[in-house]
Structure 1
Amino acid sequence: MIRPFDWRDLNLVRRLQDQGHVLNYEQALLEGAFPLRQALIGYLTLGSWGMQTLVLPRRGFVQLTCQPDANRAYLCYLSVSTPEDWLPLLEGTVAYLGRHGIHRLVVEAPEGGEAIGHLQRAGFALYAHQQIYRLDRPPAGLQVGTLPGLRPYRAADRWAVRSFYINLVPPLVRQAEGMWNGLQPDRWHAALVLEQEQEIIAHLAVRRGRLGHALHLMLHPQADHHADLLLAHGLAVLRNAPDRPIYCRVRRYQGGLDGALRQVGFEPLLTTAVLVRHTVARVIEPAWARTPGLETPTEVSTPSVPIHSVDQAGAVSIPTRRAGS
């Protein structure tokens, strides 16, 4: 049975940590993938800092981050002893999260890779595609032009930005994934909004990491022609940051960004798919209530309950390092 990592699992994680699968690329590209270190940090801090590691003894482990207030978790890393261990490890993880009040598990996997097939067999559904771009360094002499209405993000903008996001992102993606990572202020180094006629039409967030930086850009269709200037302003924010690669991910529903990214020197790195598994399901049960002249049961819906079993239905170099090395 799957359980949280403890000292008995040191050898398992040490043995499998270099043969696993990255399932959250921004986290890995910006901070690296160090499974044993993350497992020890989570264990020593009682899960209050870093990732949570769940172990299927002798067979594999997963690492994830949770958003308890949003009933959502993000799978970041998975490693198994054999391909046959994927399904029991994923099923065990889903059941464990369901018992602990997490309703959705979000994962990202390279298109065409081994992981997608295993995830779909475990009941994960495809919700979005995205292209990740990389820029080794901003172009020399980058010109940052004036853009009327562009200003720093303020706390008072929170609900306007949220409404802006809701209007742009497909409903199914919003319901499954919640607020996109780029719209979480505690993750930003800096953020800008483009406001015209008292309406926000673009949002740019900059995130710094130990190994790389990221730009998150959301554009209203009427702001597509400002994409190049907005990217230039984002790169200018990183002008004094440590010299590290810069990444930008573009969902397929975000038209207008690809050309602007290539124009300033970004190159496609890989294409990934975002998949989601719901850990709860609505159950319909008959309510046997006697009604004059009616002898058939009436169906009513009951609250969602955890699922404890399910039916079976691009290589990128990520920095890794063993703990203590």
Structure 2
Amino acid sequence: MIRSFGVRDLLLVGNLQKKGTCLDPEIALTRPYSPLLAALSSYLLLQEGGTSTFILEAMDQSSPSTSPHGERSPERSRGTVEPSGHRQMQGLAQMRQRRGRPEADVIYLAPSFSTADEAPAIWHRLLTHLCTRAGERGIQRLFARLAEDGEEIETFQQVGFSPYTREDIFRLNSLSESHQRLDRVVMRPQQAVDAWALQRLYANVAPRLVQHVESLGERGWERSSVDWPLRARSEGYVLEDNGEIVSYLLFSGGRIGHWMRILLHPQAYDRADEVIQHGLAFLSHYPPCPIYCSVREYEGGLRAPLQDWGFEPFGSQAVLVKHTTVRIKEPARKLVPALDKRAEAATPTMSRINSNRGI
């Protein structure tokens, strides 16, 4: 049985959050994440478009080798064999809808693969439920980020998720005095009127496949000041060259780490040092913490400059998407009474018969 989070689930979620997996690296690396706090905030504030939390509690009566539908179970594909008999299965899943967009991110699943042998089966059930509920809410795409070499990817693919790009995460442990010095200010704060120019920059950076999957329009560049309790306030800056935006810098500070994201035009890689220097100088005003920067596989021109500034490879992740089936309600169509008459055989009138006989 899978149900939406309620007050009766406080204790269960409190226990499950100790052994789950956070799938959003920006959240996991920059601030302690509490699934219980996220679930409670959405529940008490009635935020339908916020964090949706679902609870699985069921007795697993299927055999270890096949699912109830005769398909090979995730446990079997993982290579583990469970003893016969009934098992109590408990799990937790959370997805977060993106503000103003028909998209959501899978951000938390419990238990993790490292803490429970039945985790693949639990994830499979919860992910299937997430996809169904997302479609019912009009969400067209579900996204997830997973360690590139992790076995969790197989379970996501069984539900219909597909990888469409990958990201490398770089880490800078601490800032030196040279990082905090800014020779000259060449970037300005992001403004609402920059949305169309940022969309053009994104089109020049991302491959067609990525653009098609993410479907970022102008609203995709709107920056929210606070998205409590998941994210802190973010700051965006742009770099212009001859009236055209050639780079976008987005960063946010956290309690245990800071996050930085750079979008740089392929023909402006010679200005990567300027952008990185600005980002580090801005983050020097935040409490000292490690700084993380994500770089996608098609942004290779950023890797060497980041390493020149002291960043080191930290990890790689696959970015997956699942296109949901959205339920569309159509009103029943009814013919206008004048048009709803069946075809009838023509009956000749007396005048027509007489005229045919020549009378």
Query: Does TM, normalized by the shorter one, top 0.5?
Result: yes
1:12-48, CA deviations, whole angstroms, 9 ceiling, x for partnerless residues? 3223212212211112212222122222222222236
CA distance in 1, matches of 2:327, 2:164: 20
CA distance in 2, matches of 1:99, 1:237: 42
CA distance in 1, matches of 2:100, 2:3: 22
Are 1:78 and 2:109 an aligned pair?
yes
Counterpart in the other structure of 2:91:
60
Q: Structure 1 residues 281, 186: closer, same or farther in 2, change over 3 A?
A: closer
Q: Which amino acid aligns with 2:133?
A: Y
Q: Which amino acid aligns with 2:163?
A: L
The alignment partner of 1:54 has SS state of strand
Are 1:133 and 2:170 an aligned pair?
yes
1:202 to 227, 244, 247: 247
Q: Cα RMSD over matched residues?
A: 2.5
Query: Is the 2:187–2:278 contact (alpha carbons within 8 Å) kept by the matching residues of 1?
Result: no
1:10: Cα distance to partner?
Answer: 2.4
More strand by share: 1
1:226 to 266, 271, 283: 271
Are 1:251 and 2:296 an aligned pair?
yes
Counterpart in the other structure of 2:47:
47
The alignment partner of 1:92 has SS state of helix
Q: Which amino acid aligns with 1:66?
A: Q
Using structure 2 for the length normalisation, give the TM-score: 0.72
CA distance in 2, matches of 1:272, 1:192: 26
Q: Structure 1 residues 38, 53: closer, same or farther in 2, change over 3 A?
A: same
1:149-174, CA deviations, whole angstroms, 9 ceiling, x for partnerless residues? 63332222121112211221123223
1:111 to 140, 143, 148: 148
2:286 to 218, 221, 241: 241
1:68: Cα distance to partner?
Answer: 6.0
1:32-71, CA deviations, whole angstroms, 9 ceiling, x for partnerless residues? 2212222222222223696221222343111121026321
1:179-220, CA deviations, whole angstroms, 9 ceiling, x for partnerless residues? 499944225633222211221111112212233211111111
Q: Structure 1 residues 37, 189: closer, same or farther in 2, change over 3 A?
A: closer
Are 1:14 and 2:14 an aligned pair?
yes
Residue segments in structure 2 that go unaligned for 5+ positions in a row: 59-89, 226-232, 329-359
Query: Is the 2:21–2:109 contact (alpha carbons within 8 Å) kept by the matching residues of 1?
Result: yes
Counterpart in the other structure of 2:194:
157
Q: Which amino acid aligns with 1:116?
A: I
Moved more, 44-53 or 81-90: 44-53
Counterpart in the other structure of 2:237:
192
Query: Is the 2:102–2:139 contact (alpha carbons within 8 Å) kept by the matching residues of 1?
Result: yes
Q: Which amino acid aligns with 2:124?
A: L
Aligned sequence identity (%):
39
Query: Is the 2:195–2:222 contact (alpha carbons within 8 Å) kept by the matching residues of 1?
Result: no
The alignment partner of 1:43 has SS state of helix
Q: Which amino acid aligns with 1:186?
A: S
Q: State the aligned residue count.
A: 282
Query: Is the 2:148–2:317 contact (alpha carbons within 8 Å) kept by the matching residues of 1?
Result: yes
The alignment partner of 1:141 has SS state of helix
1:92: Cα distance to partner?
Answer: 0.8
CA distance in 2, matches of 1:79, 1:177: 27
